[in-house]
Amino acid sequence: MKFFLDTAELDEIRDLAATGLVDGVTTNPSLIAKSGRDFIDAVREICEVVDGPVSAEVTATDADSMIAEGRHLAAIAPNVTVKVPLTPDGLKACRRLADDGTMVNVTLCFSAAQALLAAKAGANFISPFVGRLDDIGADGMELIADIVDIYAAYPQFETEVLVASVRHVNHVIESAKLGADVATLPPQVLRQMFKHPLTDKGLAAFLADWEKTGQRILSEAPATHSLSHDAEPARRRA
């Protein structure tokens, strides 16, 4: 399963991308507004940090304007994925953008029927919102299971199931068990996946036992290389 980060906070993206666990990023107008960043600048900088798909959402509601916005966003970087809503106009835009060779993420999916339409429209990703379904008493995981089953029955569909509106670690685990391709996670959910009290307890015990030996693996702290030191030979060579 691939992990995308669902955020526009650049510091969070840089920090978690350094783990090697981040395969992409999803943003939306609400996340961009929360970050306080200029939309285009934020998308461009995220694309510089993350090599994988970076979803940037259109704000128009008619097909022609979505296509124009989508083409503008796709020109920011080759890894931009244009997000369009699951509406008739959104799927028209999806088809046109996909035909252009642009990656498209169809968002705000709440039914298997909608997911089937998105796949037929050529979407690279479908984003079913499991948390919002749970909020109204429905079963978000049931929707993931249905979409995975439908897509598996038609090998010609290349649309990946991108589980969105993830609220907790169990959403991630259940989605992985069902065979979803991607989960887009708020940073705090990805951080929670590292945690287990027995890990913390075991590490503390190991370190306490090691300290008693009085030994060190390295005799001195490793040297650090500053940018100024590394840059100096390059300037002299220039």
The residues, ordered by sequence, that sit 6+ positions from 117 with a Cβ below 8 Å of its Cβ are: 86, 91
Residue 62, CA atoms < 13 Å, CB-side half-sphere: 2
- Picking from 112, 113, 82, the residue whose alpha carbon sits closest to that of residue 98 is 82
CA atoms of 237 and 93, how far apart (whole Å): 51
Q: Are strands 103-109 and 80-85 parallel, antiparallel or unpaired?
A: parallel
- Is residue 34 part of the annotated active site? The answer reads no
CA quadruple 203, 205, 208, 210: dihedral, nearest 10: -70
Structure-token pair, residue 133: 């379904």
Q: Which of 83, 92, 177, 212 is catalytic?
A: 83
Contact 22, 45 (CB under 8 A): no
Q: Which residues are known to be catalytic?
A: 83
